[in-house]
Copies of this chain bind each other. A is one copy, B any other.
Amino acid sequence: MIVNVGVVGATGYAGQELVDILLRHPQARLAGLYSTADEPRQFSSVFPRFAGRVELMLRKLDLKELADNCDCVFLALPHTTAMDAVPYLIRKKKTVIDLSADYRLASADVYKSAYHAAHKDKGNIKKAVYGLPELYRQKIGTAQLIANPGCYPTAAILALAPLVATDAVDTSSVIIDAKSGTTGAGKKAVLESLFSEVDEDFKAYKVNAHQHMPEIVQELSKLAGRKVPVCFVPHLLPLKRGILETIYVRLNKKVAFDTERILDLYRKFYKHEPFVRIRRNGEFPSLKDVSGTNFCDIGVQADRGSVIIISAIDNLLKGASGQAVQNMNIRYLFPETMGLV
């Protein structure tokens, strides 16, 4: 079975990455590439990197045309705009994998306070499945609308899930010190993202105020069965791809796990996961271990009740487009790693 796929927002970083993966995917056929461009243009003339590999035109989004040509639609649009396209596609029975934040949060109020915009499609929020395969594989398998997780949340939730799900951590103690490459900010012409500004620099931003916080809180809280607040400080790295999160938690007083015991817990929790790799005692991941791959690597160290967890992903792959294709694979019953290794 070949799935006809469309990519909306194909000129952004996640969009280009989707095209790259889908070109190599044996069961997917790229059937449409869309952006905000008024005039149709050869995709490969906009991105010479794809010359000789893609013949498709880049067209202005036309929902009807999109629905006519594609079975599965990847929306790589800025948040607050994906929800303009979703209702029509859902009505047309398309499978929608939305890389924006629009359907990740169960509460429209939380959405509004995080993204400073009222939700315009509350009806479909309930239909959406949070597309983190390691937690929701079964639901993803039958979902029509998949809310692909944010990059920071992917690394954070996978890093914390085994401990939080087993009630081992003091849920008031979670500190996430996150560092991201620049593609995480998308392709927007703003002064602060210029090479001359970012190169040789490093800084924190949106300290304890990043829009991904409620998403992390929502998922950790579901795992814990009670509200799990987090302290979340994202930083901007002078490199293109990758997120590394250094996470600090305290164990519950009754829990006396040492590093080996925790690693054991993690290995079991992720035993059947093709894209989560637990590092050995004494080892931690670096970005280059995961850059260009769909893996999430995790290292752990515990000392007298305090635990340091370090997780690393490629923000454009496991943190966006790779995970989106992983979700497509699950949804269409393809081997989960198809096109991704």
Chain A positions within 8 Å of B, measured between CB atoms, are: 13, 23-24, 48-49, 51-53, 175, 177, 179, 182-183, 185, 187, 189-191, 193-204, 207-208, 231, 233, 235, 237-242, 244, 246, 248, 274, 277, 279, 283-293, 295, 297, 301, 303, 306, 308, 310, 341
Contacts and interface: CB of A to CB of B under 8 A. Distances in A.
Nearest to A238: B239
A297 B48 contact: yes
A132 to B, nearest CB: 19
A179 B49 contact: no
B341 A53 contact: yes
Given A48-B297, A306-B231, A200 B239 contact: yes
Given A196-B183, A289-B48, A239 B201 contact: yes
Copies in the complex: 4
A201 B306 contact: no
B24 A204 contact: no
A283 B48 CA distance: 10
B48 A200 contact: no
Contacts of A242: 200, 202
A204 B312 CA distance: 11
Contacts of A179: 179, 202, 235
Nearest to A306: B231
Contacts of A306: 231
Given A48-B289, A193-B195, A200-B288, 12 more contacts: A49-B290, A179-B202, A182-B196, A187-B191, A199-B199, A200-B240, A200-B287, A201-B286, A201-B291, A203-B244, A207-B310, A208-B301
Contact of A308 (B24, B231, B248): B231
Given A182-B195, A189-B191, A193-B196, A204 B284 contact: yes
Contact of A233 (B198, B286, B308): B308
28 contacts: A24-B341, A48-B277, A48-B283, A49-B293, A51-B297, A52-B277, A175-B175, A179-B179, A182-B195, A189-B194, A193-B195, A193-B196, A194-B194, A194-B195, A195-B195, A195-B198, A196-B240, A200-B200, A200-B288, A203-B286, A204-B244, A204-B286, A207-B284, A207-B301, A208-B303, A208-B308, A233-B308, A235-B246
